[in-house]
Structure 1
Amino acid sequence: MSAYRIHVLFEGYSTLQEHVQIANCTCTLITGQKNVIVDTMTPWDGARIFEALRVRSLKCEDIDYVVSTHGHADHVGNNNLFLNATHIVGTCIFKCDKFYNYDFDGGNPYPLDGGSVCVFATPGHTLDHVSVLVRTEDLGVVVVAGDLFEKEEDVFNPEIWKASGSADQCLQVQHRNKVLLESDYIIPGHGPMFKVTEGMRDTVKN
């Protein structure tokens, strides 16, 4: 089984300017035995994604899985570019007109490649929100967390993620804590990847 690598193609952002939300999500590529793209940004970003793949010697047809951590518009905008892939949007798994049932509610991760890459339920921001766990040789355990985490700063200032909307804040806290304790790096929905520190884990223990 080949080693998996993480490529943050585009770092997300989110700001409020004169009562208008300016935002786009982080787009992440996972390469290895399977190629996975997580959160495909807005429909206006297709050319940027094409180019980001091209410089890595990949085409859209080389992607095995498209994962949208949830169905908000800035996370699904270019899913249609990847027609060879199995798509996972929240907890819905499908390819073409075939939709597959999977018991995410049972706490079982959905494996994309053995134990190296899996999708697991992290409800809170939306009730069908999922995240992607990747075991890598260079970074350890990386969780592509979508809007479970808005950005690194919200680890110590929860008002940031709460202001971005949460269908169930209690569930979101529960899954945020689990990810903080079990990962080495987190890729949030609207900011750069960050390393999980002991100080961050202390926010869970306390």
Structure 2
Amino acid sequence: MKNVLAFFGAFNPPTRAHLELADFARRETGRDGVIFVPSRTDYIRNDQQKDAAFSGEMRLAILCRLAETRPWMRVTDMELRQPSQPRTYVTLCALRREGFTPSLLLGTDKLPELSGWRYMPDLILEFGIVCIARGNASCRRIIEEDPFLRDLKDHIRLLETPDELRNVSSSAVREALREGRQDSLAQMVPEEILSMLDPSFLPAGPRPAACPP
């Protein structure tokens, strides 16, 4: 596996839609696979202000379980092993040093943030971006209305995502966990990880400082 999409995120926890979106993007772009890159827990709690977060160890174990039956899926713990949340560009460079040719896979919700990320526009110019529609947002409209993105649009590939894959909601999974709605959980997460999801592993905890992407 060499030509890959790098899928960064909390995966708190990963859902059926996460997996289906990743595989859809892989097939549409002709890549060999998708590398899932889970973020540090303190970054999820502090910067992203999630209501709660599974530990890095738990999210890694869940992703690895999913990868066992999906030959196109890889998981790396390189961000979890760092003392603070790395910049996305730094992690992409690390993947390249390991022999991969990665492009960044992200959703439309991240596009407006990119101009404020460190190491821009180098990240887009060196690695390229594959953008998948999330919610009702239009990738093309967002790019055309943003001067920074408009100048780099030749390095951004847009994928028209099937409607049934547009809403990825880990927060809905966490809510169903707390409320004990097993039927809802079975619809949102793959069967093989249901037994790994326990609301007792969702402490809100303190919110230590963390770095942005």
- TM-score tier, shorter chain, comes to 0.3 to 0.5
- The answer to which structure has the higher strand fraction is 1
Higher relative contact order (CA 8 A, sep 6+): 2
TM-score (norm 2): 0.33
- For the pair shown, the structure with the greater C-alpha radius of gyration is 2
TM-score (norm 1): 0.34
- The answer to which structure has the higher helix fraction is 2
